[in-house]
Structures are given as C-alpha cells and as structure tokens.
Amino acid sequence: MTTAARRPVMAGNWKMHLVRAEAEAWCAEVRAGLPAGRAAEVVVFPSFPLLAAVSAALAGSGVAVGGQDLHAEAAGAFTGDVAGRQLADAGCTWVLCGHSERRRDHAEGDELVAAKARAALAAGLTPIACVGETRDERHSGRTFDVLARQLEPLPDDSRLVLAYEPVWAIGTGETATPEIAEDAHAFLRERLARRTGEAAARAKRILYGGSVTPDNAGALARQGDLDGFLVGGASLDPKRFLAILTVLAAPEAALRGSP
C-alpha cells in the first residue's frame, strides 16, 4: 500500500457512457455513500457534454471532476477538440492524457501525450498520464522498453500522476496479477528515481488500471508501489465504485473479509 506521503487516488473513467440523468443519479448515489474521512482523493472522468452537470452535481462533495482528453494547444482552430482552459471552466481539476484508447483510436504518440500533459499543467489541471504495453509487447518481452519509451518525454512535475494500464487488461476482464502490476510500478518508480532523484520518485503517485473490480482491488492495493486505481467498467456502477474506494482505503481489511 501507498506510503503516508502518497495520497491514494480513486479515479473513475466513464469513457463514452451515460447521459445527464444517468450521470446525475450516479453522483447522488456516490455522494450519499462516500465514506467519512476518506484517505483517498476521488475523481470521475465523464464525457465532455456531461462535465458541467457532473461538476454541479458533485459540488461540495470532495469528489473532483476531470476531462478524458485535452488538446495540446491552449486555444485555436481545432474543430472538435477541447482546451485545458475550457475543462477548468467546466469545473474540471483533472484530465487524462494518453489513455490507450486515445493512443489506439486517435494515433496519439508519446510526444503528443507529453505535450498534452504539459498543456494540462499549464491550465492548472492535474494530468493522469497513462502508459502500458499491449499483449504483443508483453509476450515479446518488450514491456519495460515500452514503459520507458512512454515515460521518457513526460514532464517532470510533481503534480503529474502516472497510471500503469496494460492494454491487454483494459476492458477485457483480465486483470494484471498483483505481481505484474507491482513489477511495472516499481520499474516506473526506478526510472523516475534515475531522472528526478529518489525523493521525487518516492512521492510520485502511480495508479493501476485494467479490469479493476471490488474483488481484485484488495490484492492490488496491497502492493507497495501502487497508489490507487483508474477504473473503467466498474466505475459506472456507483456501488462497485464505492466498494473499490472502500477497499483502497483498507486493503488489509478487504482481504481478511474475503472468503
């Protein structure tokens, strides 16, 4: 589990799901079920058209809101794109950068992802920069090369949060084992230590994403270099979202309680 210096993050990525009434119902249920005095930061990433409504529905709850993507430029003639400043104006304080679905479907490369992370920071948003290998890359022994390559251009900024999301585990129901996740997280932290020094690397929050559920969250959360979750499918159900948040706060208790 994370050290006291690294506040865990529970992030829900709704992807291209929900309309406003559904999103508002989600917010009401999560607000009502939030554990008191929770240790984790909680943030939800709705689609752009929902941002303002979700920000309003979560106002004062302590649950933050983020965009799923942003443009690398601050403004301009970029039809269909959204700027960091616009996200902030809609109530966002976070943004995802380089989610594997953006890399895959929109040909976002490492340099562009890094430029987006810089744009996020410039707009006062906390970026979660996503890295992770495909199944082929893992099977051909290239996992660490890929992670190093994706990490390389990202800005050295203490506000940036990393997410290790193995592509083969996203939306597949096949979660990384706790050992696989810990190996990747430890590798990322070690690379950061070489770059930015031990103290900054120790303070960096590295989330895991890929088929996280209330059932597998406990074993993952006990890993020393894992500082929270970026959850897709299971985040759409408020009960499962809250259950993962509870496990994140007390992974030992969750394991003791499991059959």
Which of 60, 70, 76 lies closest to 126, judged by CA?
Answer: 70
When asked if residue 46 is in the footprint of ligand PGA (CB under 6 A), the reply is no
Q: Is 210 in the site for ligand PGA (CB under 6 A)?
A: yes
Active-site entry in 41, 71, 99, 137: 99
Which is nearer to ligand PGA, 2 or 13 (by Cβ)? 13
Minimum distance from residue 199 beta carbon to ligand PGA (Å) = 29
**Annotated catalytic, 165?**
yes
Residue from 41, 101, 137, 165 carrying the catalytic annotation: 165
- Applying CB under 6 A, does 246 fall inside the site for ligand PGA? no
Going by their DSSP bridges, the two strands 206-209 and 161-164 should be labelled as parallel
| Chosen residue from 49, 62, 124, 171 binding ligand PGA by CB under 6 A | 171
Which DSSP symbol is given to 241?
H
Give dist(CA 188, CA 200) in Å, integer.
12
Give me the 77-106 binding string for ligand PGA, x by CB under 6 A, dash otherwise.
Answer: ------------------------------
C-alpha–C-alpha distance, residues 62 and 112, integer Å: 31
209 counts as binding ligand PGA under rule CB under 6 A: yes
d(CA 124, CA 80): 22
**Longest Cα–Cα distance in the chain:** 56
- Judged by phi (left if over 0) then psi (alpha if -120 to 50, else beta), residue 210 lies in left
Q: Which residues bind ligand PGA (CB under 6 A)?
A: 13, 165, 170-171, 209-212, 230-234
| Residues labelled as active-site residues | 99, 165
